[in-house]
Amino acid sequence: MSELAPASVRRLRSLAISDAGFVFDPRTGHSYSANATALCALDALKRDVPSSEIAALLRERFAADDVEVEHDLAEFIRALGEHGLVQSDPGGGSNGSGGN
């Protein structure tokens, strides 16, 4: 899985993220509600943790047996791209069938 570009990591670092799941984007003024796994993933992405390790982290923190965490994470990063929060990477979402 490709990692985020440095500009995307900087952009994610600029977000104001609360423990309650409230995310504010200072550049656009949009705010978002995030669930617990999204908060965990965002925190790791801000620290430039590689995707494979984020998936492991999610498995460690949440009851995620038999779940395609890698696929979900790729989808999440794609969604961040749609919200303009990371630079969209055409190759980034191709890991959809992974996890086997």
Partner 1 sequence: MASRPILRVAVSGLHLGENCQPGPGVIRSLREAYGARIHVVGLGYDALDSGLHAEGLVDDAFLLPYPSHGPEAFVRRLEEIHATTRFDVLIPCLDVELPVLLRVADRLRELGIAFVAPSEASLGRCSKDRLPELAAACGVATPVTRRIVDGAGLAAAGRELGFPMVVKGPFYEADVVQGPTEAAASFARLAAKWGLPLLAQQFVAGEEFNVIALGDGEGGVHGPVAMRKTVITRLGKAWGGVTVEDDDLTATATKLVAALRWRGGCEVEMLRARADGRLHLIEINPRFPAWVHLATRAGVNLPLGLVRLARGERPPRYKAPPPGVWYVRHAIELFGDQSDLECLLATARRRGAGTHQLASDESPRGDR
Partner 2 sequence: MSKPRYERPSLVRNVVGRMNKAGLRGGLTPTEAVETLPAERLVAEFGSPLFVFSETRLREHVRRAREALQRRHPDVRLCCSYKTNYLDAVCAIQHDEGSLAEVVSGMEYEKARRLGVPGEEIVFNGPMKTRDELVRAVRENAIVHTDSFDEIFAIEQIAQELGIRPAVGLRVGLDVGVYPRWDRFGFDLANGQAMQAARRIAKGGKLRLGGLHTHIGTYVLEAAAYGRAAAALSNFAGEIERQLGVRPTHLDLGGGWASCNTLAGQYQSGALAPPVETYAEAITTALLASGEGKSPLIRVLVEAGRALVDDAGTLLTSVVSTKRLADGRRAVVVDAGVNVLFTAWWYRLNITPARPVTGIVEDTVVFGPLCMNIDCLRESVQLPDLRPGDVLVVHPVGAYAFTQSMQFIRLRPAVVLLDTQGRAELIRRAETLDDLVGPELLPARLRRAVELADHGQENGNGPAAKNRLKR
Determine if 33 is a binding residue for partner 1 (CB under 8 A): yes
Distance CA 55, CA 20 (A): 22
Q: Which stretch binds partner 1 (CB under 8 A): 17-25, 40-48, 64-72, 75-83?
A: 17-25
Nearest 5°: CA angle at 76, between 75 and 81? Answer: 95
Cβ(93)–Cβ(75) under 8 Å?
yes
Determine if 20 is a binding residue for partner 1 (CB under 8 A): yes
Please state, as a whole number, how many other Cβ atoms lie within 10 Å of the Cβ of residue 87. Answer: 14
Determine if 72 is a binding residue for partner 2 (CB under 8 A): yes
Q: Between 19 and 82, whose beta carbon lies closer to partner 2?
A: 82
Cβ(21)–Cβ(36) under 8 Å?
yes
Q: Which residues bind partner 1 (CB under 8 A)?
A: 16, 18, 20-22, 24, 31, 33
Residues that bind partner 2 (CB under 8 A): 21, 23, 30-38, 40-42, 58, 61-64, 67, 69, 72-73, 75-76, 79-80, 82-83, 85
